[in-house]
A = this chain, B = another copy of it.
Amino acid sequence: MADITLRDIDQARKRIVGVAHRTPLEHSRRLSREHGRDVMLKLESFQVTGSFKLRGAMSKLSLLTADQRESGVLTISAGNHGLAVAHCAEALGINATIVVPESASRAKVDAIRQYPVTLIERGASYDEAERAARAMELESGRTFVSPYNDEDVIAGQGTIALEILEDAPDVEAIIVPVGGGGLIAGVATAAKATNPNIKVYGVEPEASPTMSHALRAGRLVEIEEQKTIADGLAGNIEPGSITFPIVQRLVDEILLVSEESIRNAISRVAREDHVMIEGSAAASIAALADPRIEGRRVVAIVTGRNITFDLFERVVTQNG
């Protein structure tokens, strides 16, 4: 079983300095008033490439050997991880092939296209694209960079918790969007190792409750992929993913949020805070209304901003 430690996350932090920003942790007057607690937002939407995925990608790619760099990398992504890999690969002079599903957000695909990488759109869903990428891996000789099923990627995402703990040492709960579980595995590892009393809550869209089902079943079970505006959280989790046992062991609760509540969160952040955020990021803000959350000082991780403008506009005007 994967054994990622606080020390691994500290090490990852050294590897990502200079590429990743130290993002702000901002107290939200509005959300604090609404939810009757101190709500702080960790704004990874202000991160380079527009999402936290840069941390994991840089943590991983900076560890490749000279031979591995020479042979290049291959990755699969709903979008943000691919964009992060493209950015880091260029910075490190590594050749990258990025597979995305045909359903990927145009905001993300168009951004990846700006980089000197090979972009392959394959498969109607994330799951199909992942199978295609895994098949390519075998023949390509490239290093496969999983968006979540990788210790070094997880350690990179965990660096977010180190920053949160520095900025708010008395934090009592952290709310984390869950797709494949890489972010929450890293954040929970760092947070619980520092203070086991900190609650770590995952958030999934009701439309894609993969981790919730897995926790209930005690193992990863395949679910039918439904459409969600939180495109980064959609899809099944790879069988045998190392994120699952970490989540089993460390995460206090997985909260589910409706599409409507995610849309409302996008809209209110746009209208009142003047910030564009994507569906996956809005999920953790939507989850703040969940009565199961304990703690007076709560951090919601706002994971990214890469949303196609036309979708964003539709959501905000319809949810005014």
Residues on A facing B (Cβ under 8 Å): 21, 24, 26, 29-30, 43, 46, 48, 50, 107, 110-111, 114-115, 270-276, 278, 305-307, 309, 312-313, 316-317
In Å, the complex CA distance between A54 and B276 comes to: 21
Measured CB to CB, the closest approach of chain B to A95, in angstroms, equals: 18
- CB proximity of A50 to chain B, nearest CB, Å: 6
* B274 contacts A305, C-beta separation under 8 Å: yes
Contact A270 B30 (CB under 8 A): no
Additional 15 contacts, C-beta under 8 A, given A50-B273, A274-B306, A313-B313: A24-B46, A24-B48, A29-B114, A29-B115, A30-B114, A43-B46, A46-B46, A111-B272, A271-B309, A274-B278, A274-B309, A274-B312, A275-B305, A309-B316, A313-B317
Closest B residue to A274 using CB positions: B305
A278: chain B residues at CB < 8 Å are 274
Smallest Cβ-Cβ distance to A30: which chain B residue: B114
Whether B26 and A48, one on each chain, are in contact in the complex, defined by CB atoms closer than 8 angstroms, is: yes
* A interface, over-half SS: helix
Q: Which of A21, A114, A278, A305 has the most CB of B within 10 A?
A: A21
Which B residues are in CB contact (< 8 Å) with A306? 274
A316-B313, A317-B313 as given contacts; A274 in contact with B307, CB under 8 Å: yes
CA distance A305 to B271 in the complex (A): 11
Per the bound structure, the CA–CA distance linking A309 and B278 in Å amounts to: 16
Number of copies: 2
Residues of B within 8 A of A275 (CB): 276, 305
- A25–chain B nearest beta-carbon distance, Å: 10
Contacts of A115 in B (CB 8 A): 29
5 closest A-B pairs (Cβ-Cβ)? Answer: A274-B305, A271-B309, A46-B46, A21-B24, A274-B276
Query: Which residue of the partner chain B has the closest CB to A305?
Result: B274
- The minimal Cβ–Cβ distance linking A78 to chain B, given in whole angstroms, is 15
Of chain B, the residue at the smallest CB distance from A87 is: B29
Task: Please tell me which one of the listed residues B26, B272, B276 contacts residue A270 in the complex, with CB atoms under 8 A apart.
Answer: B276
30 pairs from A and B in contact (CB 8 Å cutoff): A21-B24, A24-B46, A24-B48, A26-B48, A29-B114, A29-B115, A30-B114, A43-B46, A46-B46, A50-B273, A50-B274, A107-B274, A110-B272, A111-B272, A270-B276, A270-B309, A271-B309, A274-B276, A274-B278, A274-B305, A274-B306, A274-B307, A274-B312, A275-B276, A275-B305, A276-B276, A309-B316, A313-B313, A313-B316, A313-B317
Please give, as numbers and ranges, the residues of chain B lying within 8 Å of A30 by CB-CB distance: 114
Residues on the B chain within 8 Å of A313, using CB: 313, 316-317
Nearest-CB distance from A175 to chain B (Å)? Answer: 21
A309 / chain B contacts, CB cutoff of 8 Å: 270-271, 274, 316
Task: State A273–B49 Cα separation when bound (angstroms).
Answer: 9
